[in-house]
A and B are shown apart, each in its own frame.
Chain A
Amino acid sequence: MAGKTLYDKIWDDHVAHQAEDGTCLLYIDRHLVHEVTSPQAFEGLRMAGRPVAAPDKTIAVPDHNVPTTWDREDGIDNEESRIQVDALDKNAKEFGVVYYPVNDIRQGIVHIVGPEQGWTLPGMTVVCGDSHTATHGAFGALAHGIGTSEVEHVLATQTLIQKKSKNMKVEITGKLSPGVTAKDITLSVIGATGTAGGTGYVIEYCGEAIRNLSMEGRMTVCNMAIEGGARAGLIAPDATTYAYCKGRAEAPKGDMWDQAQAYWETLYSDDDAHWDKVITIKGEDIAPVVTWGTSPEDVLPITASVPSPRDFEGGKVDAAARSLDYMGLTPGTKLQDVEVDAVFIGSCTNGRIEDLREAAKIVEGKTIKSNIHTAIVVPGSGLVRLQAEEEGLADIFKAAGFEWRLAGCSMCLGMNPDQLGPEVRCASTSNRNFEGRQGRGSRTHLMSPAMAAAAAVTGRLTDVRELG
C-alpha cells in the first residue's frame, strides 16, 4: 500500500463520518470567526434555536471593518461597519465563544491572531469564513476558507461536509538569492501555475527553500495558496514550528506538550506517498517579483517590462488587454519606470513582525519620495504593533514619513476607511490585485514588504537588490 501524504494523514484523523459516496463529515478543531462572514450564520442558529457546538474551539475577532486610525476607541463612524462589528460583539457574548474585542491588545487580523495566541497547532483542522485561512497551513494544519452557510454548519455541528481533494507537491529546491522572500516564492508559484492551477488540490510546499523559512515566511507562502486556486496549502511541521508554538497562550503545556509533539512528529508525507501533481521550482531561479495586472497570476520579475496582450493565448488575451487598460500601463514599459502614488505595508499576507523588520531595514535613515501621497504601515495585530514599537521599527517608519496604524485588514480590501481613489497606483504587500480591490478604480501592484519599502523611498517600482 502506498504511503500517505501529510494531507492524507490529517484528513484520516478527522473523519467523523463517511458516507458510501465518499462524502465525509470532517471534524473541525478550530473555527475562526470575523464580523463580515458570520452575522447571517449566527442569525441562522438563533432562528433554529441551535447553540454553538464547541464554543471553546470557536475564536472570534473583528478585523475587516475596524478603523486603523488612533481615534478608533471613540467608535466607528461608518454606520454599517459599526453595526457589523457590534453584531459580532453581541453574537460572541450570546453564544459564549472565545472573543478578542476591538480594544483588546490581542485584537488583529484573524489569521495573525490565531497562530500568535497558539490556537493554531500542527495537525489541526482550521476553518474560517475567509479565503486566507490557508495561512494556517504553515503549521501543518489543514486550513481553508468556507462560505457563510458552512460557517453556520460548523458553528452548529463542529463538522464540515467535505470530499477529499487531490494532492499536489510544490517543491522549492535549493537556496533563495539575496533580496528574494517568501512573498516572491508564493507569487512565483502562482505565476507558474495560474490562479486556477491549484483548483481541486491541497498543496504541500516542501524543499530546502521552504524548510529554511521562518514561520512568518511559511505563513506568507501558505496564505496565498488560495490565489493559486488550491483548497489549502500545507508545510510539514518541524523544529521551527515547535519553537514558534511553544509557550504561546493557548498551546499545550508540560506533559501535554510532549504528547502533542510526539504526534506532530508523525505528520509528514511518506517517501512513497502518491502525488497527483508535482511542481518543482529552483530557489535560485526566483527573483523579486511584482504583479502588473489584475490577477495574482500576472507576475513578473521586477527586471521585466510590461507585457503585451499578444504575449498570451486564449481568454488571457482579452483579460490582459482589460488589465493593462485598468492598470494604465503601456506594453514595453520597464516595470522599474512605473511610478507609484501609495504604499501599503500590512495584511494577513505580510503584517507580521518579520515583514515589518524587512521593510524597516530598507527605509531606515531614508524618507519616502515626494510623489507618494499615502504610505501606511498596518501591523497585523496589537501584539505585533507593540513588539514593533519596542524594537524601534515604528520610529523608523514614522521618521521616513509612513503613518503608523492600529491593527486590522485595512487597505488590503478597504472595508474600513483605508481606501485608495481612482487611478491611484499602490505598491502593496497584500494578496489581491483585483479590479477595485483597494478602492474603486485603484491600481494594485503586489510585492514583498522589502519591495514595497523600496518603492516608497524611490517613488517607483524598484528592484530592492539595487538599493544596497
Chain B
Amino acid sequence: MEKFEKLTAIAAPMPLINIDTDMIIPKQFLKTIKRSGLGVSAFYEMRYDMDGNENPDFVLNQDAYRDANIIVAGDNFGCGSSREHAPWALLDFGIRCVISTSFADIFFNNCFKNGILPIVVTPEQLTLLMDDAQKGSNARMVVDLENQIVESSDGTQIPFDVDAHRKHCLLNGLDDIGQTLQKATSIDAFETQMRESRPWV
C-alpha cells in the first residue's frame, strides 16, 4: 500500500448526494480478477454516453479536473454494495482523498485498505471546500494527514479527525494482515477457549 502523508492536488466537486458504489464502478467491471486497471471505467455511466464517448458535462471529463486527486462529494458517499472495486477504481484514476459530510461504512473501511483517505467534514465546511473545488485547476487543496488539516486554496484550514491506528497505517503504508498475524498467540488462545465455551461453532 502506498503511503499517504501530504497531498497537494486539484479537487473535483461532486455535489450529488448518495453517490453509490454502483455509480462509482458498475457491475460489468466487477468481473475482473485483478485490482488494477479500473480507473478508465470509474463513474462509467455518468462519464460516458451509450456509445462510449465522453460526456462533456461530467466533472472528471473537464480539462480542469482530469488530473484531480481529491473528490469533494455530497452526503453519504460510497453507499450500497461492498465492492472494493470502488476504491480500486478511484485509486487507479488517481484519487487519494475523498471529502464528504458522511460515508457509507464499508466503503469508508475499504478506502483505508487502499491508501485512500476519506475525510468527514461538517456541512458548512463541505460548502466551503465545494466552492473551492469549483475554482478548477488553478486551485490546489492541501491534505496534511500528519497534522490532520485540509487547507483550501485561499489558506482556510479545516482540522479533521482520523482513527489513530488507521492514520499510522496510512502514514507508513502498512497492510493489516502482517500486523494481525503478530497477534497469533491471542487468536490461538481465543480458539482454545472457544472450543470449550462454544464447541458447536
Contacts and interface: CB of A to CB of B under 8 A. Distances in A.
Contacts of B35: 40, 148
B39 interface: no
A429 B75 CA distance: 27
B76 interface: yes
A295 B18 contact: yes
A29 interface: yes
B87 to A, nearest CB: 8
Interface in A309-326: 314-316, 318-319, 322
Given A21-B165, A87-B33, A199-B102, A259 B84 contact: no
Contact of A36 (B26, B30, B106): B30
A440 B82 contact: no
Interface in A16-40: 16-17, 19, 21, 23, 25, 27, 29, 36-37, 39-40
Nearest to B109: A147
A25 B183 contact: yes
Contact of A159 (B20, B104, B106, B180): B180
Interface stretch (B5-13, B63-71, B193-201): B193-201
Contact of A195 (B18, B183, B199): B18
A130 B83 CA distance: 7
Interface in A224-261: 226-227, 229-231, 252, 256-257, 259-260
B27 interface: yes
B31 A319 contact: no
Contacts of B33: 39-40, 43, 83-84, 87
A315 B23 CA distance: 17
B82 A37 contact: yes
A422 interface: yes
Contacts of A40: 33-35, 84
B15 interface: yes
B79 interface: yes
Most buried by B among A124, A436, A441: A436
B190 A259 contact: no
Contact of A157 (B16, B163, B177): B177
Interface string B139-154: 0000000000000000
Contacts of A440: 26, 45, 50
A145 B21 CA distance: 14
Given A21-B165, A196-B104, A415 B76 contact: no
B76 A196 contact: yes
Interface residues of B, number: 58
Contacts of B184: 157
A414 interface: yes
Contacts of A129: 82, 84
Contact of A23 (B27, B83, B104, B165): B165
A153 B194 contact: no
B187 A19 contact: no
Contacts of A230: 105
Given A149-B84, A256-B199, A81 B31 contact: yes
A107 interface: no
A231 B82 CA distance: 11
Contacts of B187: 16-17, 25, 27, 157-159
B81 interface: yes
Nearest to B186: A17
Given A36-B30, A161-B176, A199 B105 contact: yes
B39 to A, nearest CB: 16
B74 A145 contact: no
Contacts of B198: 13, 123, 260, 263
A50 B50 CA distance: 43
A130 B80 CA distance: 10
Interface in B159-201: 163-165, 175-177, 180-181, 183-184, 186-187, 189-191, 194, 197-201
A153 B177 contact: yes
A422 B51 CA distance: 13
Contacts of B197: 13
A132 B45 CA distance: 24
Given A37-B84, A157-B177, A150 B18 contact: no
Interface string A316-354: 101100100000000000000000000000000000000
Contacts of B18: 195-196, 295, 319
A295 B74 CA distance: 14
A73 interface: no
B31 A131 contact: no
A157 to B, nearest CB: 5
Given A27-B194, A84-B33, A157 B180 contact: yes
Nearest to B102: A196
Interface string A97-125: 00000000000000000000000010110
Contact of B79 (A44, A146, A195, A415): A195
B83 A37 contact: yes
Interface of A: 13, 16-17, 19, 21, 23, 25, 27, 29, 36-37, 39-40, 43-44, 48, 50, 57, 64-65, 78, 80-81, 83-84, 87, 121, 123-124, 129-131, 144-150, 152-153, 156-159, 161, 163, 195-196, 199-200, 226-227, 229-231, 252, 256-257, 259-260, 263, 295, 314-316, 318-319, 322, 413-415, 422, 432, 434-437, 440-441
18 contacts: A36-B83, A40-B33, A147-B106, A148-B84, A149-B84, A153-B176, A153-B177, A156-B181, A196-B18, A196-B75, A260-B200, A295-B18, A315-B74, A415-B31, A422-B50, A432-B80, A434-B20, A434-B22
User: 4 closest A-B pairs (Cβ-Cβ)?
Assistant: A149-B113, A80-B31, A252-B200, A147-B110
